[in-house]
Structure 1
């Protein structure tokens, strides 16, 4: 046996047991822009390309490792001109799968970086591992555009792991459901009808607005958003807006809260009504005739009803027997009902009071003239 062959045999005996498809420790002995050379105790240092150093691949391998670093590497192959092929990425993944399994067993959560939208959900990375978040597991409600989550980091729960198939399925919805349950318990134990609470507009839909009042969403119907007619909630509200809301009703069994925005705002009708009092005489225009009377405009956007029996002294069958649309009349305010938002008016009582006032005035003037005659 030659001296060279004997030397090679001795070197092989001194080498540790190094096998392909295993993870070993190595020391970085040289780093360039495109690769790092690692000593794993093999007969020569083996290069690790920058794409096998980290995910995503760095622009410069020196951004990931430096000479002297001890790292774990996965042996993809041995032999050849370069001595073999190593991967830090694969070693990190294998370690990460073990860590992920432990995390799932403990019931802990993970931080997932959303990378892109795909059919049926989102691709997200956890500890360098590719995971999948189904669309149904991203929010408590349906999300039309999942792309808004790309590049965001979200907290998620692991719901499925298959190391052999490299399958990792995550859920954000389960965390949100638990969080909602806790907040619901706190809110429903304290909230009562007729309270005014602070909220944030969460979603706008055709029929109203969902408003977050401490982690629980209440619904403000479109008819409760403003005192005037609203065609769509976006006319008066915007997502993210903070505002006070009035609690109309609470259904603890169904977990529903009915809210009102307009009940926290001054009521234009009441503000106008406060300018008038029962017994006042006012002038206005007849704007509508009905089977039960006539509506008179007191001021723009503020009407009162003259019942059929208050339109004329004699009995009439139809309102147009006494008044017509456009007529300007003087009426007496009979009743102001702020709860039902109704004002009852009378033409007949206004005339009677006016006639009575004229008689009193004539009597007073006559008495005054009589006194002057006696004096003379």
Structure 2
């Protein structure tokens, strides 16, 4: 009769089903569970949870009622049970729901593997690709091991035991939110503060608080510069003026030089049309030569003002570095242009010399006394 009852109880269990059991004893390597079978069934640590605990008491305690999965019937103890697999089945169902609802969960990094990180979530093993960790490339992933982080499931297949997470999508959403808020607050012509994030050959990128704008090299300084690094370096706190922005392309054009008055206007106040200056030739062009009156103040001497003779190239008369005397013949403040002439310096000198000659000649011809004048008149 006892044998028949035991056989009958065995028939109550089926492989691949989930049943409930009560923990009646726990030692270092296993937990013993009563499922109504003829004896308590030991569940080794590797089948209690993932990752495998050091001791069974890290997972269960005596008196706990737990779900267990019937792996198969038979063996030394009459059946093989797994709490881990029961938890996994429930976890897969929960994970699918979380994936469908796009909820955020907390994952724990367990191991560094090729291409990314091995992670655990609710007893499930998942994968966090290197490309899905941060917004930027991470060279060394070892620092993430044993760390917890929020993530979202981006791919799931319980049959293939495939579970892929992303931390990056959360960062992208946060970034997009900040960018949208920033774009809504931007106003053209407004001056704001930012931090130089990156310096390149054509300018500098400035972080405005979640979004970068570009300061073109021509907008870095009122003076001519060879490279943006002459003015700014990464990490500098700067004031920038919002020149323009496009919410669709998320492009922001900034200016540093426009946050301060153009020094050109202060410098030009010292000069007037007709002034003579001595300056250095700094550039030659097909249409003339540029002369530097002082630092940050250049003017143009056109070909016809370089020489009274017909010339086809500026270097027939001047070379870069030459110091020459020139006359200011026009100042265009609206377009910040100064026109000068070398030929008029010579013309003015010749004219002055001629006038001086006339004046001297007139003095020579003038009678010395009134008597001399009367005598000359006779």
3-state SS of paired residue (2:84): helix
- CA shift, 1:183, in A, is 4.7
3-state SS of paired residue (1:228): coil
Matched, 1:196 2:191: yes
Distance change (3 Å), C-alpha of 1:12 and 1:245: farther
Residue in 2 aligned with 1:49? 44
3-state SS of paired residue (2:42): strand
3-state SS of paired residue (1:98): helix
Residue in 2 aligned with 1:230? 227
Kept in 1: contact 2:245–2:253 (CA 8 A) = no
Distance change (3 Å), C-alpha of 1:148 and 1:308: farther
1:111 pairs, out of 102, 106, 118, with 106
Residue in 1 aligned with 2:22? 27
Kept in 1: contact 2:239–2:259 (CA 8 A) = no
Distance 2:78 2:210 in 1: 59
Kept in 2: contact 1:223–1:229 (CA 8 A) = no
1:71 pairs, out of 66, 73, 88, with 66
Aligned positions of 1:1-376 closer than 5 A:
6=2, 9=4, 17-113=12-108, 116=112, 118=114, 123-132=118-127, 147=141, 150-151=144-145, 153=148, 155-170=150-165, 182-183=177-178, 185-199=180-194, 211-221=206-216, 228-230=225-227, 236-238=232-234, 243-252=238-247, 254-260=248-254, 262-263=256-257, 270-271=262-263, 274-276=266-268, 277-279=270-272, 281-299=276-294, 303-311=298-306, 314=308, 316-317=310-311, 319=314, 323-333=318-328, 342-347=337-342
- CA shift, 1:96, in A, is 0.8
Distance 1:23 1:87 in 2: 9
Distance change (3 Å), C-alpha of 1:35 and 1:163: same
Distance change (3 Å), C-alpha of 1:228 and 1:191: same
- CA shift, 1:169, in A, is 4.3
Kept in 1: contact 2:244–2:252 (CA 8 A) = yes
Kept in 1: contact 2:191–2:242 (CA 8 A) = yes
For normalisation by structure 2, the TM-score amounts to: 0.67
Kept in 2: contact 1:224–1:262 (CA 8 A) = yes
Distance 1:25 1:209 in 2: 64
3-state SS of paired residue (2:51): coil
- CA shift, 1:86, in A, is 2.9
Number of aligned positions between the proteins: 348
Distance change (3 Å), C-alpha of 1:71 and 1:192: same
For normalisation by structure 1, the TM-score amounts to: 0.67
- CA shift, 1:214, in A, is 4.9
Distance 1:201 1:17 in 2: 71
3-state SS of paired residue (2:54): coil
**Per-residue CA distance 1:45-91 (angstroms, 9 max, x = gap):** 32222222332223333333333433333232444334543322222
* Alignment RMSD (CA, Å): 4.7
- Tell which deviates more after alignment, 90-99 or 301-310: 301-310
**Per-residue CA distance 1:334-366 (angstroms, 9 max, x = gap):** 566677665444445667788999999xx9xxx
Distance 1:284 1:327 in 2: 8
Distance 1:338 1:153 in 2: 63
Q: Structure 1: give runs of 5+ residues left out of the alignment.
A: 364-376
